[in-house]
């Protein structure tokens, strides 16, 4: 079973807002689900690095009618997103009506927001099942192995299919104090303090591009054994190159947030799984 799309939308929305991105890019967190209803590479095709750039580009074109790239209209991803477009937009509208009331929304065409939203889906999936993100460079599976070993995993998978369980999980995720966490001088390790300037600590929001890199790094560290450096480095390069980023991205604050989120979300899952 998979985390439901409303929960993916909620996580993407909160993460985008935390990173100064247009939160209406949260709809792109639904794109990895195009492989759920297929027998061909189910749960893999849209969850691996190799296909991420094309799927995001097709999504932007189909949702916004902005053709930034020359997308193949006969590709699996283009045809599936086109087929699911109305369903995705409806789910996006339902989420807005439930959680972001009295707010006009327009689907964003921002590439960095779309990529961050897309990656948020894969990152969150690592909490409920093993994900082979680094195919074809590596077949290693990323997941929360220690957490799964700490409780009845099969019972947890059954719970995910229960609507009441998912509502509780989603509400705990949205209302968690983690979203108010400040990564500042008073609550970080000395090693991070040494690497960053005071100006960087004064920033209230996290950086979306750095968060994209941080998510890829963490997905690599979720693997068992941990994904080799060259595999993760190549994944980061593929994504930043796709976004035409040609400068080094510091990820200290963003990695710190991810680690704190993982601890908090893990506690939520364990509590609800008792």
Element of type H or E holding 257: helix 252-273
β-strand partners of 131: 142
Cβ contacts of 26 within 8 Å, gap of 6 or more: 9, 12, 13, 16, 92, 95, 117
Question: What's the Rg (C-alpha) of the chain?
Answer: 18
Task: Give the separation between CA 274 and CA 162, rounded to whole angstroms.
Answer: 15
Q: Distance between terminal CA atoms of the chain? A: 19
Which pLDDT does position 191 carry in this prediction?
A: 62
Asked if residues 134 and 122 have their Cβ atoms less than 8 Å apart, the reply is no
Burial class (CB in 10 A: 0-12, 13-18, 19+), 231: middle
Provide the 3-class DSSP secondary structure of residue 193: helix
pTM, whole model, 2 decimals?
A: 0.91
Which pLDDT does position 132 carry in this prediction?
A: 96
Q: Phi and psi (nearest 5°) for 131?
A: -125, 130
Task: Give the separation between CA 260 and CA 62, rounded to whole angstroms.
Answer: 35
Which residues of the chain, if any, have pLDDT below 50?
none
Instruction: Match 């990820």 to its residue by tokens.
Output: 251
Which pLDDT does position 125 carry in this prediction?
A: 96
For residue 180, what are its two tokens? 């108010």
Which pLDDT does position 42 carry in this prediction?
A: 80
Cβ contacts of 239 within 8 Å, gap of 6 or more: 49, 52, 53, 115, 212, 213, 216
List own/partner pairs for 157-166 with CB under 8 A and 24 or more apart: 157/1, 157/128, 157/129, 158/1, 159/272, 159/273, 160/1, 160/2, 160/3, 160/4, 160/128, 161/1, 165/272, 166/3, 166/4, 166/6, 166/7
Which pLDDT does position 147 carry in this prediction?
A: 95
Which pLDDT does position 73 carry in this prediction?
A: 83
β-strand partners of 7: none
Q: How many domains does the chain divide into?
A: 1
Q: Phi and psi (nearest 5°) for 166?
A: -70, -35
Q: List the domain range (segments joined by +) for residue 210.
A: 5-273
């Amino acid at each position: 079973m998979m985390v439901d799309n409303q929960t993916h939308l909620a996580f993407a929305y909160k993460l985008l807002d935390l990173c100064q991105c247009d939160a209406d890019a949260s709809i792109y967190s639904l794109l990895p689900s195009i492989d759920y209803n297929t027998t061909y590479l189910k749960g893999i095709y849209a969850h691996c690095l190799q296909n991420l750039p094309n799927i995001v580009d097709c999504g932007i074109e189909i949702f916004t009618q902005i053709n930034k790239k020359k997308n193949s209209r006969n590709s699996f991803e283009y045809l599936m997103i086109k087929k699911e477009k109305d369903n995705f937009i409806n789910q996006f509208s339902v989420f807005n009506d439930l959680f972001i009331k009295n707010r006009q929304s327009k689907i964003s065409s921002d590439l960095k927001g779309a990529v961050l939203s897309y990656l948020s889906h894969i990152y969150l999936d690592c909490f409920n099942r093993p994900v082979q993100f680094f195919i074809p460079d590596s077949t290693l599976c990323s997941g929360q192995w220690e957490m799964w070993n700490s409780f009845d995993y099969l019972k947890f998978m059954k719970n995910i299919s229960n609507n009441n369980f998912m509502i509780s999980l989603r509400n705990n995720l949205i209302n968690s104090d983690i979203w108010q966490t400040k990564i500042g001088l008073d609550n970080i390790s000395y090693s991070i303090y040494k690497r960053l300037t005071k100006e960087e600590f004064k920033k209230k929001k996290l950086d979306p591009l750095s968060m994209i890199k941080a998510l890829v790094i963490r997905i690599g560290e979720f693997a068992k054994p941990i994904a080799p450096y060259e595999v993760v480095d190549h994944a980061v390069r593929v994504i930043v190159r796709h976004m035409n980023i040609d400068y080094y991205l510091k990820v200290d604050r963003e990695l710190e947030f991810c680690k704190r989120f993982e601890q908090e979300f893990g506690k939520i899952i364990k509590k609800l799984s008792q």
